[in-house]
Amino acid sequence: MNLEKIYRDAGAYLEGHFLLSSGKHSQFYLQSAKVLEDPKIAELLASNLAEMIKKSNIQVDTVCAPALGGLLAGYELARALGVRFIFAERVEKVMTIRRGFEIKKDEKVLMCEDIITTGGSVLEAASQVEIQGGKVVAFAALANRGFCKREGSKNDAKPTCKLPNNVPFFALGDFEFDIYDEKKCPLCVNGSKAFKPGSRGN
Ligand code: ZN
């Protein structure tokens, strides 16, 4: 599966000067919502991810995703795995599980995102699952940004990866483009201004 081609064909592989949610800058941005607007592609990606997870023999009762980014990927993955789907959302900046979602003690929960960079949001959602008694058995994303170690990849996790190294992480592929601190950003040096994806209608 050529993940980059799928993103490019969908117009989801954006080039410009972006301010990422982490505060870093990048010349590229992945707009997964553009890929997932086609339910057939969403289904294809999720079923491939589900196959990887099934082959690993990890038992999953429930998929949980952090809103908004993980919702579509997580829902499709839950469908492909034949399990239920719940989500976590930020309430006044704190990741919370509400809407009547219940987690049984030791329920096996797989955490899903569209893209995992350092894993910050998905890890916050995972800690909420554990507070409610669930057991986080794996992490999954359509794509890995190259900071965390995914199953089947030889590349080790970078120090900035926040995912625990004793829980497997599944992704369909890697997108390893550079991200910069604002002070060291070559695009800023050239005089352009970073903008937040979504703030200009994209
Ligand atoms: Zn910049």
Q: In what order do the strands lie in the sheet with 25-30?
A: 13-19, 25-30, 179-180
Helix (H) or strand (E) holding 196: none
Q: Tens digits of per-residue pLDDT, 33-45?
A: 999 999 999 999 9
Place 131 in a pLDDT band, splitting at 50, 70 and 90: very high
Q: Tens digits of per-residue pLDDT, 108-121?
A: 999 999 999 889 89
89 in Cβ contact with 65 (< 8 Å): no
The structure tokens listed for 156 are 């080790």
Distance between Cα 25 and ligand 1 center (Å): 5
Distance between Cα 65 and ligand 1 center (Å): 29
Report the chain's C-alpha Rg in angstroms. Answer: 17
The DSSP bridge partners found for residue 48 are: none
Rounded to 10°, the helix 71-81/39-55 angle is 60
Distance between Cα 190 and ligand 1 center (Å): 9
Q: How far apart are CA 74 and CA 86, in angstroms?
A: 9
| CATH no., domain 3-189 | 3.40.50.2020
pTM given for the model: 0.92
Distance between Cα 40 and ligand 1 center (Å): 35
